[in-house]
Amino acid sequence: GMPSKAPENTIQGSILALEAGAHVIELDIYLTTDNRLAVIHDSTTSRTANGNLTVENSSMSQLQALTLYDTTGNYPNLKIPTLDDYFSTFSGDDVQFFIEIKSTKAEIVPILASAINEYDMSDRVTVITFTPSQIENMHKTLPDISTGYLNYALADGTDTNASLISILNSIIPIK
C-alpha cells in the first residue's frame, strides 16, 4: 500500500500503490473466530483502529465495527478488509499477492487455500511467514503455491559465514 496516502493494509492503499506502478500487493492475515481472513498487520487493533481488540479473539463483524485511523484525512471511514475483499477487488488486475500468514493457527491454511482456489489465484499468490510449520502446512495443502520463510534474527551481519550456516540450518528442515 501507500501508508503516507491511505491507511496500511487497505484496499484503497493498494489501489494507490498500483496506480503508482507497484506490481505486488503484500498483505498480512490473521484468522478470526468466525474463520474469516482479516487483513491487518498487527495482532491487535490498538495501533490502527479506534478500538483495542485482539484479532484472533474477535469475529470479523466485531473487527469491522471499528474504524481504521486515517492520518491523511482522505479515507475517514475505512474498515478492516478481508482477503475475500482483496481477491474480489483485484481479480481482474495484473497483480501478484504476497500473503504473510501472521497466525500460528494451523487451521488458517485450509481457509487460505480455499480462498486461493475460489478466486483462482494460485498463479498469483506467494505465501510468506515467520512460522516454519505454516510453510509445511502450505506444502501439504497447496503444494504448488510458492512459499517463503521470513526471518530476521538469524543473520546478524557481522559474520557472514555463521549467518549463512544459521539460515541454512533453519530452512533445510522445512519440507
149-158 pLDDT per residue, tens: 887 655 556 7
Instruction: Burial-class residue 142 by CB neighbours within 10 Å (0-12, 13-18, 19+).
Output: buried
Cα–Cα distance list, 161 to 112, 156, 166, 167, 173 (Å)? 36, 11, 9, 10, 19
What's the pLDDT at 157?
Answer: 61
Distance CA 148, CA 159 (A): 23
Asked whether the beta carbons of 135 and 63 are under 8 A apart, the reply is no
Residues 6+ apart with CB under 8 A from 76: 67, 70
Distance CA 171, CA 175 (A): 9
Cell matching residue 77: 471511514
Q: Which range is least confidently modeled, 94-98, 101-105, 135-139, 161-165?
A: 161-165
12-30 pLDDT per residue, tens: 999 999 999 999 999 999 9
> pTM to 2 decimals?
0.89
Asked whether the beta carbons of 63 and 45 are under 8 A apart, the reply is yes
What's the pLDDT at 3?
Answer: 84
Q: Express as a percent the part of the chain with pLDDT over 90.
A: 75
Question: Where would I find the H helices in the chain?
Answer: 11-19, 60-64, 83-90, 108-118, 132-141, 160-171
